[in-house]
Amino acid sequence: MDITLHYLFDPLCGWCYGAAPALSALAGEPGIAVELQPTGLFAGGGARSMDDGFAAFAWTNDQRIGQLTGQRFTERYRQQVLGDRQRPLDSGPAMLALTAVSLTDPARELETLQAIQHARYVDGKDVTALTTLAELLAGLGLAQPAARLAQPDAALVAADRARVGRGQALMREFGARGVPTLIAESGAKRWQVDARAAYADPRALISQLQRS
């Protein structure tokens, strides 16, 4: 049975970063196609300032995610990202970068998402800045989307908004309240998948899909 797995996420969500190993495993599984669907959780009206209270809350969550999944959250990230009181928590630029990749090199979008997550949580880079993101894309050999991201045009912005709109519509359809959320689709059937298996045992998530 061929399955499309709609991955509802935000690039600055720590739990989504925790699910990255499972998404990589799924993307390499025959008969399963992973489609990235950003929801804009921390973009637009969801963007917020990084104050001491939120930074402490995020770091506590990050430690839990790290223990559960083995994903790294470095001291450099804690100091340079959570400690930054100038830049807001705003996933809009990172989503725009992913949209630029989806329009030109869609097969590399998951790789790009994971590179953005690594740049933030391991390298402590500011992935809310278009210049940082354009350099990251160029470093991945994605010259065309990097150039487009450096000077976003109306078509890129419109495509990004449409993607977020689709993601938010799926969230509403299934009554989902947070990310990551996984919606599987096969033929005329669509159903929500228990994302908790993605953290401790990626193979359990694959087995869950294959049994559906």
- Where is pLDDT greater, at 192 or 1? 192
Give pLDDT tens digits for 15-60: 999 999 999 988 888 999 999 999 999 999 999 999 999 999 999 9
- Where is pLDDT greater, at 134 or 211? 134
For 86, phi then psi, to 5°, come to -95, -45
Number of helices (H), then strands (E), belonging to the chain: the values are 11, 4
- Give pLDDT, residue 77: 98
CB 74 within 8 A of CB 125: no
Only one residue has tokens 């450096």, namely 150
- Give pLDDT, residue 119: 98
Dist CA 75 CA 5 (whole Å)? 33
Q: Enter the tokens of residue 117.
A: 């997550």
Mean pLDDT of 145-164: 98
Average pLDDT, rounded, for the chain: 95
Q: How confident is the model at residue 205 (pLDDT cuts 50, 70, 90)?
A: confident
Mean pLDDT of 112-137: 98
Give pLDDT tens digits for 157-201: 999 999 999 999 999 999 998 999 999 999 999 999 988 878 877
- Give pLDDT, residue 176: 95
Q: Which CATH architecture has domain 3-211?
A: 3-Layer(aba) Sandwich (3.40)
